[in-house]
Amino acid sequence: MKLAVGLLASATALRDQEFFGGFVKESDIDTNGTETAQEALDAAIEAGEDVSGLTARIGGDGRNAGPVVFKNCGVTNRPSGFLSSDHPYKPDTACRWRIVGPKTARMFVKILKMDIEEERPSDSATCGHPGNPAHRPCRPGENEHCEWDHLRFIVGGQSTRKMCMYVNKFNRFAVQANVPNSPDYSYFFEKFSYVENPWFNNPVKAGWFKGKVLDANNLIVEFKSDAGANFYGFDMVWRFMKPATTTTPKPVTTTTTTEETTTEAATDAATDAAANAATNAATEAATSAQTQTQTQTEAPTEAETTTTTTTTTTDADQCAMGTHDCSANADCIDLEDGFSCVCHAGFGGSGQKCFDINECNNGENVCSPNAICNNVVGSFECSCKPGFMGNGVVCNEIDECANDFFQCTCNDGFNGDGVICFDKNECALGKDNCDSNAHCLNTGGGFECLCKNGFKGDGFTCQDINECVVDNPCSHHASCTNTDGGVQCACRNGFFGNGFTCRDINECAVGSDTCDADATCFNKLGSFGCVCNEGFREEGDACVDINECTLGIDNCSSNAMCSNSAGGFECECRPGFSGDGETCMDIDECLDESSCGGTDCTNFPGGFSCGCEEGFSKDSEGNCVDIDECAAGTDSCANEASCENTNGGFRCSCDEGFSGNGKICLDFNECAAGTDNCNAGTETCVNFSGSFRCDCAAGFVSVDGQCVDDNECDANPCDAAAVCSNTEGSFTCECASGFSGDGFTCDDIDECATETDNCDANATCKNSAGGFSCECHDGWFGNGQSCADVDECASDDACSADATCTNIDGGFVCTCNARFSGNGKDCVDVDECATMQDNCDANARCINTVGGFTCACNSGFVGNGETCVDVDECSIGAHNCDANAECTNTRGSFTCRCGTRLNNFNDFKGNGVTCEDVNECFRKTDDCDANAKCTNTVGGFECNCRRGFFGNGFECSSDASTAPTSLDDGKSAGKIKTKKANVGLHKANMVDVQSAMVDALTRVTDGRRGKMTFVKRARGMATKALARRRRKCPLRDNHKTSALSAFQSASDISDVKNAIVATLANRTNDTPPCKNIEKLVGGKVNKVFKRLNRHTRA
């Protein structure tokens, strides 16, 4: 099964068994206190409807026997939608869908298509088959139709009859021919008609294809199929409607209304009260703060006065207070733990945000296929197309041919004689006017032109599309050339391909580059590049050698020689050095003892030299002379020693205050040895190299050569938050109040965190360095240690002008007034009209105002808006009907019909506003004698016997003595019209006959029980049957006499029925021009009286 609801775009998702569009599977949507679907099913079962455990009868092939378990296939509260089966529907389906609307809503339900398999009577082995002599007629309930496959609706506690096959007027399945591989059962209808069979529930006659308004807010759709399903299925739509009457709750108010009505108004009031009983109960259950007491007296059956008193008391709730955030196009539903927002019918969204649904675009409208759908905010409007009339939901074709004076002509795009028309293929015949660059597609009654690929236009004129500009299909590495209806793409240099796809050419790999022999080739997108090899530089397109030695860019050692070569260079170490040229190490010749012949050898970079013995050096003549190490400073004496030169050497002696061998002299520590003369207590001995000194001890300073106490506190050695105290030779630090630490480092104590502050409970404690402060909260005032409440409501700008301010401790609350919504500071008017909270009449329009609303009756109605009464334009002369037309008042308007009711509206023709006379003589619709002349008159005709004949024109004779001058059937001589006379005679006799029929029917049904509504149906059918063809076949005096006698002697229902049928037969047999009235309406009389006899009992 599939289901389409709302704005779904994906048809694939509709076939998912786990989700049905706007239907939530196996869910239980809140019904706002109204009767639930399960309660509705229970009520249906209690009423005798077998809705939960149907048992399929075993047919000729025994298929689908046993109980049927229906599955809950989904539930939705969408305001409108479209529900359908698969096409063709799937076998072994047993689904129920539940549609739940707002608590006060009504529903409009309409079947669009239906073709559901029905078993034939031949499937039963005992009864019903018209072609089987062994079969007897089926009794009621036996071989019941729609058993295997069916569709039905369950509304409240009642269920429709099962609906299945719909057969059209040609005795064919409605859409069976459009289902692939489906069987053809058309042969069966030659002898049997489902449409006329009394056991078949005809959904067309029941009104489901026109649509029905249900006084309920929930509906269960039940569909079942057996194992042999292969039929189309069903399509249906629904839409929730505004309730007939709406009561707007008012906070804490009491209203008493007394209304005087006549008999007809009182009956309507009683009907409305009964229809809204469930709505009032749902309202009471959904609003916990609301109590309602209503007293309704029983509507009288005779003319009398009825008094209705209503008292309503309502407490405020969240929705009424306006503290919700629902959209203006949503209903606020008060709940025990908050509120819920539900978008109005015709809107979609979350409830907080609602947007208009275009029912005309998404198919969620119920307009007739012969109507135009116009979307309006929150709804839609249906208006019948030209040539059709109706309310837009139901549009009936205007029968211009009703007077049998017409001519059929095939429409444009079709060939034929008008009675039979077939499509003309303009494309195949070359009769189209499509552009040469367009394709011609034949359609029913016409054709379409579609421009070919590469062209644009309406098909009749197609222009080339420059794809290079509009949508270039070529590769980014190709050139684009537009052609007529196409494009050419060519890859650019450096690329190869078909132009739509281009790939780079690697010139280096294929050897098509032009690089120098001393260069390296590298590829790049669409081209290539050349880089000279190392040691070469670019000079034009050639690579020349770089002289690294000349340019100084070689890496040879500074102790090497550089030699240039092609593309490089070579390094060779100089004499006295060894290495690879890039690294050259000095050769130490002194390592060879033979280099200096036993004297000192001195090596240097690149060479060496020979010297004298230790303590001697060469002079300018090369002689070795003594070196004065002391003068030259080359001695090794300690710094704390004195040097004495000797021949070929020197001698060292330690200075005073030091001890050692002269080369190493150590300081003598007088402080450690106690040989100093420093003052103990105030001075400290400090040793230094070669002596000592006396410094003032810590905490003392030197003043005039004496060590006295130093006041350290003057230098602020303590923390900024501490107190310094000087002592003899030292000092102490102590943190101040509000701080903690060792005095050198002090941290602030946070009195707020340690709760050692004294701030008020309605104040905020703020810590500061060494202390704290108190500040009263918003909405409070004082010094922080003591705070008092601020009355914000004393200020005029605290809340919105449309809100009430309530002061609370430390603040205030703003609540929007009744009929406003918002947060209290910003309040917007509640649109009672959009949220259906108005109490305007169903025939009035609601006009929203700030803080309320007004009601104004629609055109064609008058009243105060809350109560609107239809204006009878016909009785007050406010219509525009032609003088020769009959004005019929309708609710909110009127209709005009040419002609007079006396002549069955056949004497004038037109649209009702303009009427012209019908020429009965020309149309041969007069009943003048063959020997009479017919003369047309305005609104009628005259019959006059021709010369040589005598009579009244309706009957002419050549014998003047036998010619009639007047007739009891109303045909008087001269200009008196037969039609008018017949109708007058019929009406006069019909009064007595109808009265006798009603008396007889009342007499024979007195004391019977059951469905007594069939008494009323029988009475109405009998009245209609007796009134048929009264112009040409009137109820004459002799018919009246026979009928009165038959009705007076009737003793049971069959006698009354036989009396009616006999009267029809007498009128048929009496007058030759009359058709068989009994055959025309007798069958319907028989059917109604049979049902009356079956559904009632004594």
1064 beta partners = none
Overall average pLDDT of the 759-772 stretch: 89
Q: Compute how many other C-beta atoms are within 10 angstroms of the C-beta atom of residue 897.
A: 18
Instruction: List, for residues 504-532, the tens digit of each pLDDT value.
Output: 999 898 888 889 888 999 888 888 889 99
Please provide the average confidence, as pLDDT, over all residues in the chain. 75
Mean pLDDT throughout 1052-1075? 75
Q: What is residue 490's predicted lDDT score, i.e. its pLDDT?
A: 94
**Percentage of the residues of the chain whose pLDDT score is greater than 70:** 74
pLDDT (tens digit, 9 = 90+) per residue, 432-491? Answer: 999 999 999 888 888 999 999 889 999 999 999 998 988 888 999 999 999 988 889 999
Q: pLDDT confidence of 497, banded at 50, 70, 90? A: very high
pLDDT at 641 over 80: yes
Say what the pLDDT of residue 185 is: 43
Element (DSSP H or E) covering residue 1097: strand 1096-1097
Q: For residue 1015, give the nearest of 1027, 1024, 1026, 1006 by alpha carbon.
A: 1006
Per-position b or e across 390-419, b if 16+ CB within 10 A of its CB: bebbbbeeeeeeeeeeeeeebeebbeeeee
End-to-end CA gap in the chain? 47
**Where do the domains of the chain lie, and which CATH numbers do they carry?**
2-241 (2.60.120.290), 429-464 (2.10.25.10), 467-504 (2.10.25.10), 507-545 (2.10.25), 632-667 (2.10.25), 670-710 (2.10.25), 713-748 (2.10.25), 750-790 (2.10.25.10), 919-976 (2.10.25.10), 980-1097 (no CATH)
Strand partners for 490? 479
pLDDT tens profile 353-407: 888 888 788 776 768 788 889 888 877 888 888 877 777 776 777 766 554 445 6
Determine phi and psi for 245, rounding to 5 degrees: -130, 145
Return the H-helix or E-strand segment holding 727: strand 722-727
Q: How far apart are CA 367 and CA 237, in angstroms?
A: 10
β-pair type (893-898, 908-910):
unpaired
CA 218 to CA 79: how far, in whole Å? Answer: 11
**Helix/strand/coil for 719:** coil
Average of pLDDT values for 125-138?
60
Q: Please name the helix (run of DSSP H) or strand (run of DSSP E) that holds residue 102, with its range, or none.
A: none
Indicate whether 26 pLDDT > 60.
no
pLDDT at 49: 45
Q: 108: number of CA atoms within 13 Å, CB side?
A: 20
Q: Do 605 and 576 meet the contact criterion of CB atoms below 8 Å apart?
A: yes
Are the CB atoms for 790 and 765 separated by under 8 Å?
no
Q: Give Cα separations from 463 to 466, 468, 482, 484, 911 (angstroms).
A: 9, 15, 13, 9, 48
pLDDT score at 1080: 63
Which residue did the predictor score with more confidence, 502 or 180? 502
- Determine contact, residues 684/692, Cβ cutoff 8 Å: no
Token duo for residue 724: 């310094």
Q: Which amino acid is at 18?
A: E
The per-residue pLDDT for 622 is: 66
Q: What percent of the chain stands above pLDDT 90?
A: 10
Predicted local confidence at residue 910, as pLDDT: 92
Q: Pick from 887, 914, 913: which is nearest to 900 by CA?
A: 887
Residue 307 pLDDT more than 70?
Answer: no
Q: 274-288, 605-619, 696-710, 1060-1074 — which is least confidently predicted?
A: 274-288
Instruction: Read off the pLDDT of each residue in 661-682 and give the average, rounded to a whole number.
Output: 83
Q: Which of 131-145, 534-548, 746-760, 825-839 has the lowest mean pLDDT?
A: 131-145
DSSP 315-362: ---HHHHT-S---TTEEEEEETTEEEEEEPTTEEESSSSEEE--HHHH
Report which secondary-structure segment, H or E, holds 39. Answer: helix 37-46
- Residue carrying structure tokens 């009342």: 1002
What is the arithmetic mean of pLDDT over 902-908?
78
Q: Identify which has the larger pLDDT, 862 or 88.
A: 862
pLDDT at 855 over 90: yes
Q: What are the CA-CA distances from residue 400 to residues 416, 904, 918, 922 (Å)? A: 21, 16, 14, 18
307: which strand partners? 260
**Residue 1064: burial class (beta carbons within 10 Å; 0-12, 13-18, 19+):** buried
Per-residue confidence (pLDDT) for residue 401, from 0 to 100:
57
Q: Are 533 and 546 contacting, i.e. CB atoms less than 8 angstroms apart?
A: no
pLDDT band at residue 15 using 50, 70 and 90 as cut-offs: very low
The answer to whether the beta carbons of residues 237 and 367 sit under 8 Å apart is no
pLDDT at 287: 34
| Strand residue runs (E) in 170-268 | 212-214, 218-224, 233-241, 259-261
Helix locations, 602-686, DSSP H = 629-632, 670-673
| Structure-model confidence comparison of residues 718 and 179, the more confident one | 718
Question: What sign has the CA pseudo-torsion 135, 137, 142, 147?
Answer: positive
**pLDDT tens digit sequence for 920-969:** 888 888 888 888 999 988 878 888 898 888 888 888 888 776 666 544 33
Q: Residue 771: is its pLDDT beyond 90? A: no
Q: Is the pLDDT of residue 128 over 60?
A: no
Q: Is the pLDDT of residue 189 over 60?
A: no
What region, left, alpha or beta, does residue 22 occupy, with left being phi > 0 and alpha being psi -120 to 50 degrees?
Answer: alpha
| Across 979-996, average pLDDT | 74
CA distances from 244 to 272, 331, 842 (A): 8, 18, 6
pLDDT at 781 exceeding the cut of 90 = no
- Using the predicted structure, report yes or no on whether residue 245 has a pLDDT greater than 70: no
Amino acid letter, 325: D
**DSSP type of residue 761:** T
Output the pLDDT for position 1076.
60
- For 983, counting Cβ atoms within 10 Å of its Cβ (0-12 exposed, 13-18 middle, 19+ buried), the class is buried
Band (58; pLDDT cuts 50, 70, 90): very low
